[in-house]
């Protein structure tokens, strides 16, 4: 029952954030409090209702490249760790059953588990891999947390730096 409540709350918050996405963007443009922006960045990373590249660019425009990188990198890393933990501790049994039921996915998972650090960095650097999928998969595959977190932090940095710089230079 506890798992269904978590899923229901997540889906409800995604729907609400999608409904109020323009209000959220307007609030981010007007409010320049770094703490509130940091909390908003975590929530927008955890509930992906807008492309996060847009959020990074907006933060780059508002705060400049360096501050935007620090805020967005920290926020996405925290959101990734939370998502990993939720999947690992609430859905581990169901996820392990699913991963074992698909033979090709089982082979892929065993390869990723042999080199989790490199696998996560490559997944983070690949622009076509959804970041939420990496978080969910890492928790489902029970990758070592600290290895996952370090690889996540390193792998996210180049993309975040690029979009923060582009947002900073948008009207320059």
Choice between 42 and 3, residue whose per-residue pLDDT is larger: 42
Expressed as residue numbers, the domain containing 50 is: 2-168
Give the pLDDT confidence score for residue 104 in this predicted structure.
81
Residue 20 — very low, low, confident or very high, per pLDDT cuts 50/70/90? confident
State whether residue 94 is helix, strand or coil.
helix
Give the pLDDT confidence score for residue 117 in this predicted structure.
94
Residue with tokens 């978080």: 135
Q: How many domains does the chain have?
A: 1
Residue 30 pLDDT greater than 70, yes or no: no
Within 10 angstroms of residue 14's Cβ, the number of other Cβ atoms is 14
Residue 3 pLDDT greater than 70, yes or no: no
Within 10 angstroms of residue 94's Cβ, the number of other Cβ atoms is 12
| pTM listed for this prediction | 0.78
74-131 per-position pLDDT tens digit: 999 999 999 999 999 888 888 878 877 878 887 888 888 899 999 999 999 988 888 8
């Amino acid at each position: 029952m506890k798992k269904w409540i978590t899923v229901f709350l997540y889906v409800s918050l995604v729907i609400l954030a999608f409904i109020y996405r323009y209000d959220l963007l307007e609030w981010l443009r007007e409010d320049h409090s770094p703490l509130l922006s940091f909390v908003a960045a975590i929530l927008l990373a955890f509930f992906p209702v807008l492309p996060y590249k847009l959020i990074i660019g907006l933060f780059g425009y508002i705060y400049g490249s360096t501050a935007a990188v620090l805020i967005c990198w920290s926020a996405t890393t925290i959101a990734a760790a939370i998502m990993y933990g939720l999947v690992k501790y609430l859905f581990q049994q169901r996820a392990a059953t699913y991963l074992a039921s698909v033979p090709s996915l089982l082979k892929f998972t065993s390869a990723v588990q042999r080199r989790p650090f490199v696998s996560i960095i490559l997944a983070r650097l690949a622009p076509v891999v959804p970041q939420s999928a990496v978080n969910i998969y890492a928790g489902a595959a029970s990758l070592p947390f600290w290895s996952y977190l370090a690889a996540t932090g390193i792998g996210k940095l180049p993309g975040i730096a690029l979009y923060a710089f582009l947002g900073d230079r948008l009207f320059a």
